[in-house]
């Protein structure tokens, strides 16, 4: 009986450690069945479904085009080397090598990691004509693009930190 208990305890501990490592690897997205850093297939998920999965703050920004206040997001002044992913679906978006300090208060990049990582849409909200940047995989709002960035593209992808996940190299 003691042997069976000992074997069960060892198996349970092994499972707990492995599951804990899995949760660390998905970065708290264990309740989001659509989150993947490797799957690039386009998603067709309703806003009602996203609302059940995402935090209220992420839902407001990613699905309702809210904007976080400048200088408040966790990545606006981050210098670490790594990769930025869509916080909603895990799609790879930007490398830290393309990040620059724009002093606007939001994380800014001069190019996406792949041209097909993001899509664009006209945005004339708040009396301004801008170009909205969305995740190409899930269609979530990331931020806006402007023509005042550095070489080589002279573009500034001005993103909301909450719409991004960062994984260090």
> What are the residue boundaries of the structural domains of the chain, listed by start?
1-30, 32-168
- The answer to whether the pTM exceeds 0.85 is no
Residue range 32-168 forms a domain whose CATH class is: mainly beta
Q: Furthest-apart CA pair in the chain: how many Å? A: 74
The segments of the chain whose pLDDT lies below 50 read 4-26
Distance CA 39, CA 67 (A): 27
Residue 33, Cα to own-chain centre: how many angstroms? 15
User: What's residue 3's pLDDT?
Assistant: 52
Contact 139, 64 (CB under 8 A): no
Distance CA 121, CA 25 (A): 32
- Active site positions, annotated: 158
User: What's residue 12's pLDDT?
Assistant: 37
């Amino acid at each position: 009986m003691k042997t069976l208990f000992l074997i069960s305890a060892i198996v349970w501990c092994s499972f707990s450690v492995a599951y804990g490592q899995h949760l660390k690897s998905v970065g708290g997205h264990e309740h989001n069945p659509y989150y993947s850093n490797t799957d690039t297939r386009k998603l067709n998920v309703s806003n009602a479904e996203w609302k059940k999965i995402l935090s209220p703050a992420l839902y407001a920004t990613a699905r309702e085009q809210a904007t976080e206040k400048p200088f408040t997001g966790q990545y606006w002044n981050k210098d670490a080397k790594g990769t930025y992913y869509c916080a909603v679906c895990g799609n790879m978006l930007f490398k830290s090598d393309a990040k620059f300090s724009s002093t606007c208060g939001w994380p800014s990049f001069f190019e996406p990691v792949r041209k097909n990582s993001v899509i664009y849409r006209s945005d004339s909200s708040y009396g301004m004509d801008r170009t909205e940047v969305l995740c190409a995989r899930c269609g979530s709002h990331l931020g806006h693009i402007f023509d005042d960035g550095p070489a080589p593209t002279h573009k500034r992808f001005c993103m909301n930190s909450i719409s991004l996940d960062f994984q260090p190299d």
